[in-house]
Amino acid sequence: MVRSFLLLFLLLLNYSAEANPRYSDPDGCLSCHAYEGLNFIDENGVFRSATIDGDHYASSLHGSVPCKDCHRKVIDYPHKVENTEVDCGASCHIEEPSEGVKYSHDVIHEEMDKSVHADGWYKGLTGGNRLEELETEQDPSCRRCHSNTAYIAEMQLEKFKEAFDHAETECGNCHQGKAWMGQFGGHILRRFVGRRWNNIENNQLCIQCHGDIDAMRDVKQEDVKTLEKHPPSERFIQSSESYTKTLHGRLIDANSDFGASCIDCHAPDGWKHEIRAYTDEKSASHPDNLAESCGQSNCHAYSKKPGNEGFTMTDMHSLSLLGLSSMEKPLTDTDLWQSNWFRSAWPLMIAGIVFAIGSLIWWFFYRTDKKIIAILGGDRFERVMIGRKPKKARAKAAARKSRVPKAAVTAPEIAATTPATINQDAATTEVEKTPKKSDDSEA
């Protein structure tokens, strides 16, 4: 009897544990918004759904946050649509236990405000599920990149679990109490585990918009000093395309740790939101600051050192990289006819024709010649390495040699003393000398 009662009690306990949602809905919002088909058409004519899937919300990043913490203007029922706007810069529900300061996204907002994307943030737009912004707005809102994703990214879950198991012994030694360990511990751990996205996902975020070349053509860029709007440069329009051709982009595509993602260079510091135009002097990608940006830890460390100014001269968004776009059929591309390859192929072709014709001439007329000299530098080789006299001196010596026997022959006293025999001798020596002379000049 007692045993079955205990079993029933355990079952009840189990049931109550399962039935508890992650957070009870204290304001009763879900009593209406949980209904499926709670749809309406807004002032822009966009078909919207106001249905909230309770399970889906509870498992999201803000799953434990009551609706009213963000939708502050909603006080009673029924409420107006305009009152549902959310300000991501407002202070949050989380309190920093040591200082009692409420957490806020305002630091990020401040940083974002300095960036080229600053116009994307304004009150009211950022929190709402504004579908129309995708088509009309040039600057991204918070939501464009940060949808209500899972609090712990999937790639970090194992790492987070491991850290969470040890949190009580490691962090809990000093940071005791429920406020720290219960509520704040997880938030801190999330920070310790590291970045939410890997480099590939980071780049995908940027390339989602910047990779759309037609959309980028419509972007209005702002001059940093005069604040005038002007159409974008071709370099800006093709920026994601040229980036994927650089080693930075290709390494990340290959899932390497060594590649540099977009924000690694464009927003290396702080909360990674301060993306400025490269013409801005405060920008990390401004030519004056490149040495510092390239020389971040684990990257090109010595670019900061004096004497290495040339290192930062490489254009990472060079338009010439775009020529590498058609990797599938590079030699059938008509663009290649205008490329340097074909221009420089002309002298190569002329040299090739000279080579071919020269070879034919040699084959027909000179192939039986034993002696072959290099077309260039052959004489110098003979002179410097072999130690023979230069060509001119050799020719002179040969000429001198050929003169000497003639002088001997025509010497009058020899002719006078012994006319017949010596003349014969002289004739033979002359015959002997002449082939020897030709030997010398040839050898």
Partner 1 sequence: MRVIQNLKAIPKVQKFRYGMILLASLSLLGPLAFLPQLVGNDDLCGQLCMRRFYLYFPGMTWDDFFVHVNSATIGVMAFAIILITTLFFGRIWCGYLCPVGGLAELSSRMLNDRWKIEFRSLPQIQIRYGYFGFYLVAMPALGISACSLCNFITIPRLIEAMSGEYRGMIYLVSSVGLVNLALLLLLGVFASKGRAYCQFLCPIGAADSIVNRIGARLPFAHRIRVAKERCTGCNICARNCMCGAIKMVDKIAVVDQMSCMSCHECVDVCDWNALAWTAPPKHKHNSPKRIKKNTEIFPLPDWQAIHIHPVKEEAGRVLPQISGVSIFNAMVLLTVISVIIVGSFL
Contacts of 350 (CB under 8 A, 6+ apart): none
Q: Which string of x and - marks every residue 168-187 that binds partner 1 (by CB under 8 A)?
A: --------------------
Q: Does 386 bind partner 1 (CB under 8 A)?
A: yes
Residue 336 in contact with partner 1, rule: CB under 8 A = yes
Which window, 124-132, 233-241, 334-342, 430-438, contacts partner 1 (CB under 8 A)?
Answer: 334-342
Name the DSSP letter for residue 222: E
Piece of 44-52, 230-238, 270-278, 351-359 that binds partner 1 (CB under 8 A): 351-359
Applying CB under 8 A, among 372, 407, 416, 420 the residue interacting with partner 1 is: 372
384, 404, 415, 431: which one binds partner 1 (CB under 8 A): 384
Closer to partner 1 by Cβ: residue 16 or 298: 298
Q: Is residue 376 within the footprint of partner 1 (CB under 8 A)?
A: yes
| CA nearest neighbour of 150 among 64, 60, 55 | 60
Distance CA 290, CA 281 (A): 11
Peptide bond connecting 78 to the previous residue in cis, omega within 30 degrees of 0: yes
Examine residue 256 and tell whether it contacts partner 1 (CB under 8 A). Answer: no
Nearer to partner 1, 109 or 317 (CB): 317
Instruction: For residue 95, give the 3-state DSSP assignment.
Output: strand
Q: Does 407 bind partner 1 (CB under 8 A)?
A: no
- Rounded Cα gap, residues 86 and 133, in angstroms: 15
232: closest CA among 242, 220, 224?
220
Opening angle at CA 171, ends 165 and 172, nearest 5: 90
- Residue labelled with tokens 């030694």: 173
Closer to partner 1 by CB, 16 or 332: give it.
332
Residue 253 in the binding site for partner 1 (CB under 8 A)? no
Cα dihedral 194, 196, 197, 202 sign? negative
What is the spatial distance between Cα 150 and Cα 61, in angstroms, rounded to a whole number? 5
- Closer Cβ to partner 1, 38 or 373, answer by number: 373
Residue 253 Cβ, how far from partner 1 at the closest point, in Å? Answer: 14
Minimum distance, C-beta of residue 288 to partner 1, in the bound complex (Å): 16
* Distance in angstroms between the alpha carbons of the first and the last residue of the chain: 124
CA distance 215 to 219: 7
Contact between 346 and partner 1 per CB under 8 A: no
Least CB distance from residue 377 to partner 1, whole Å? Answer: 3
Q: Residue 285, exposed/middle/buried by CB under 10 A (0-12, 13-18, 19+)?
A: buried
Q: In the set 93, 175, 383, 437, which binds partner 1 (CB under 8 A)?
A: 383
Nearer to partner 1, 21 or 330 (CB): 330
Q: Residue 1 interacts with partner 1 (CB under 8 A)?
A: no
- Binding flags for partner 1, 293-322, as an x/- string (CB under 8 A): --------xx--xxxxxxxxxx--------
Nearer of residues 8 and 356 to partner 1, judged by Cβ: 356
Structural Rg of the chain based on CA atoms: 43
Under rule CB under 8 A, residue 443 binds partner 1: no
Q: Torsions phi, psi of 48, nearest 5?
A: -120, 150
- Contact residues toward partner 1 (CB under 8 A) are 301-302, 305-314, 324, 327-328, 330-331, 336, 339-341, 344, 355, 358-359, 362, 372-378, 380-381, 383-387
